[in-house]
Amino acid sequence: MNESEILPGISLVARSPHPVAGIEAVVICPTFRRPDHLLKTLHSLQAQQTVRRFAVIVMENEAEDREGAAVAAPLFEGGEMQGMVVIAHERGNCSAYNAGLQTALQHYPDFRHVLIIDDDEVADVQWIELMIAAADRYSADLVGGPQRPVFANPGKNRFEHHPVFKPAHHKSGPVRVLYSSGNLLIGKQVLKALDQPFFDPRFNFLGGGDIDLVSRCTAMGFKLAWCEEACVYETVPERRLQADWIRARSLRNGVISTLVEKRQRAEEPFGGIRTFMKSAALLGLAPFRAARDVAKGSIVTGQYRLYIALGRILAHFGYQNEQYRQPEKN
User: What digits encode the pLDDT tens for the residues 289-328?
Assistant: 888 878 877 787 888 889 999 999 998 998 887 777 777 6
Task: Give the N- to C-terminal CA distance of the chain in Å, as an integer.
Answer: 28
Q: Could you tell me if 284 and 183 lie in one domain?
A: no
Q: Could you tell me if 17 and 42 lie in one domain?
A: yes
* Residue 296 structural domain: 243-329
Q: Could you tell me if 172 and 308 lie in one domain?
A: no
Q: Could you tell me if 265 and 207 lie in one domain?
A: no
Q: Could you tell me if 184 and 316 lie in one domain?
A: no
Chain centroid offset of residue 140 CA: 18
Q: Could you tell me if 226 and 303 lie in one domain?
A: no
Query: CA-CA distance, 93 to 86, in Å (whole number)?
Result: 14
Boundary of a domain, candidates 221, 238, 255: 238
Q: For CA atoms 79, 80, 83, 86, give the dihedral sign.
A: negative
Picking from 83, 109, 106, 91, the residue whose alpha carbon sits closest to that of residue 29 is 83
Q: Could you tell me if 149 and 223 lie in one domain?
A: yes
Q: Could you tell me if 208 and 85 lie in one domain?
A: yes
For the chain, residues with pLDDT lower than 70 are: 1-2, 328-330
pLDDT score at 210: 95
pLDDT score at 72: 98
Q: Could you tell me if 260 and 150 lie in one domain?
A: no
pLDDT score at 330: 67
Q: Looking at residue 188, which CATH number applies to its domain?
A: 3.90.550.10
Query: CA-CA distance, 20 to 83, in Å (whole number)?
Result: 9
Length of the chain: 330
Query: CA-CA distance, 285 to 316, in Å (whole number)?
Result: 18
Does residue 312 contact residue 254 with C-beta atoms inside 8 Å? yes
Q: What is the pTM of this model?
A: 0.93
For the chain, give percent helix, strand, coil, nearest 5.
45, 20, 35
Q: Could you tell me if 58 and 192 lie in one domain?
A: yes
Picking from 66, 74, 85, the residue whose alpha carbon sits closest to that of residue 15 is 85
pLDDT score at 293: 79
Boundary of a domain, candidates 222, 238, 254: 238
- Per DSSP (E only), the strands in the chain are 4-7, 10-15, 25-31, 54-60, 83-88, 113-117, 121-123, 142-144, 147-151, 173-175, 183-187, 224-226, 232-236
